[in-house]
Amino acid sequence: MTDTENHIEVIRLLSAKLKAYYIFPDVAEKICVGLQKHLDDGDYHDITEDEFFAYALTTHMQEICHDEHLWVKWHLDPLPDEEALRLSEAWRATQQLQAEVDNYGFYRVERMAGNIGYVDIHYFHRPAWGGNIAVAAMNILANMSAIIIDLRKCSGGYPGMISLISSYFLGPEPVHLCDIYWRDDDTTNHYWTLPYVPGRTLNDKPLYLLISKETFSAGEGFAYDMQARKRAIIIGEQTDGGAHPGTSYRLNQHLEVFIPIGYLTHSITKRNWEGIGVTPDIQTASEKALLVAHQIALEAVIESLSHSTLGPLKDLLAEAQEAYKEYGGK
């Protein structure tokens, strides 16, 4: 097959999948027309490698739809034969192995000065895979006086994991988080917090979430929800705004396309953050967000312990005050 024949076939398959699955059918039509025009105009003529072809297709699609969840990716190793890659056992096994070596998205959990809990989450993996890790992290945080969750490098994930983690922060009664309509099978899933989670809940803990320009998709979703419920203070930078969940399809032996097939509606705002992003309550550069959050959390701890008479709590107050002085506080 020549390069031109390959380009024609890939765009044919890509267009068919966009028309069948993309969450906005009218936008899918515009994307397909745009891709065909690029093909007819010879814009792909000099591209001889699929890796660069994937980049060009992604750029041209996003120029039309501005949806950063829509992309084409080249793989060195051959892809499974299944059209919908999520149905492939080999694909799922590879994804699960990647999640495992990623520690299911939990990169760091620690106690900061002043008994401030800190957890760094890079991805919300499936709860069936990483639920035990999430529970362990939440249980470590149970004895902390305030909690900082770092989402600055969180690129996305699954709503089921958000439901699990949110269950520790939103009280004992189930809370309706959001609904997602899936175009591929014309169904709607309703996401709630869980009526029970292992260990102690963290309902009474002051909560601070860090976000950045790199925070995307489910990372934004967790911050968006906690902000809408006034459950957390959001600190950092404005996010880009990617709310449409999707899935991966095979285009050929080495090309994968990720297509947004779902539309999320938040239970409170009745909309989502697509194209808008999450605006922090306290705006600061990403690299300063943790320092700002730690200082604010220390203030909360000092205030809560200001009248303590028990020895251990007085010691904790002294520790928090000493840490606060390092930020220039009194």
**Co-location of 15 and 102 in the same domain:** no
Rounded to whole angstroms, how far apart are CA atoms 197 and 309? 33
Residue 124 burial class via C-beta count within 10 angstroms: exposed 0-12, middle 13-18, buried 19 and up: buried
**Co-location of 67 and 142 in the same domain:** no
pLDDT bin (cut points 50, 70, 90) of residue 330 is low
**In 225-300, beta strands by DSSP E:** 233-236, 246-250, 255-260, 262-266, 282-283
CATH of the domain at 149: 3.90.226.10
**Co-location of 180 and 238 in the same domain:** yes
Q: Are 215 and 154 in contact (CB under 8 A)?
A: yes
Position 307 scores a pLDDT of 86
Whether the predicted pLDDT of 302 surpasses 90: yes
Position 329 scores a pLDDT of 62
Domain-located, residue 29: yes
**Co-location of 241 and 127 in the same domain:** yes
Position 75 scores a pLDDT of 96
**Co-location of 141 and 278 in the same domain:** yes
**In 67-174, beta strands by DSSP E:** 71-74, 106-112, 116-121, 146-150
**Co-location of 134 and 265 in the same domain:** yes
Q: What is the distance, to the nearest Å, from the Cα of residue 37 to the centroid of all Cα atoms in its chain?
A: 34
Domain-located, residue 142: yes
Percent of the chain with pLDDT strictly greater than 70: 99
* pTM summary value: 0.95
**Co-location of 125 and 59 in the same domain:** no
pLDDT bin (cut points 50, 70, 90) of residue 152 is very high
pLDDT bin (cut points 50, 70, 90) of residue 209 is very high
- φ, ψ of residue 138 to 5 degrees: the values are -65, -35
**Co-location of 229 and 127 in the same domain:** yes
Least confidently predicted of 114-128, 200-214, 297-311? 297-311
**Co-location of 212 and 305 in the same domain:** no
**Domain that residue 297 falls in:** 292-325
Going by C-alpha positions, the residue among 129, 188, 120, 140 that lies closest to residue 164 is 129
- Per residue in 163-195, pLDDT (tens digit) is 999 999 998 899 999 999 999 999 999 999 999
Q: Convert 25-37 to b/e letters by CB count within 10 Å (16 or more is b).
A: eebbeebbeebee
Q: Which of 42, 76, 110 is the last residue of a domain?
A: 76
Domain-located, residue 252: no
Q: Which of 76, 105, 139 is the last residue of a domain?
A: 76
Domain-located, residue 136: yes
Which residue's structure tokens are 């892809």?
79
Segment 97-108 mean pLDDT: 97
Q: What are 237's two structure tokens?
A: 């930078």
**Co-location of 275 and 172 in the same domain:** yes
pLDDT bin (cut points 50, 70, 90) of residue 142 is very high
Give the strand order in the sheet containing 116-121.
Answer: 106-112, 116-121, 146-150, 207-211, 233-236, 282-283
**Co-location of 200 and 298 in the same domain:** no
Domain-located, residue 96: yes
Residue 235: HSE in the Cβ half-sphere, 13 Å Cα cutoff: 21
pLDDT bin (cut points 50, 70, 90) of residue 286 is very high
Containing 131, the helix (H) or strand (E) segment is helix 127-141
Q: Which of 76, 108, 130 is the last residue of a domain?
A: 76
- The chain-wide mean pLDDT, for the chain, equals 96
**Category of 187 on φ-ψ map: left (φ > 0), alpha (ψ -120 to 50) or beta:** beta
Domain-located, residue 85: no
Position 310 scores a pLDDT of 87
**Co-location of 100 and 243 in the same domain:** yes
Rounded to whole angstroms, how far apart are CA atoms 15 and 31? 8
- Per residue in 251-260, pLDDT (tens digit) is 999 999 999 9
Domain-located, residue 81: no
Terminal Cα distance for the chain, rounded: 73
Number of domains in the chain: 3
Whether the predicted pLDDT of 27 surpasses 90: yes
Segment 84-96 mean pLDDT: 93
Domain-located, residue 223: yes
Position 313 scores a pLDDT of 92
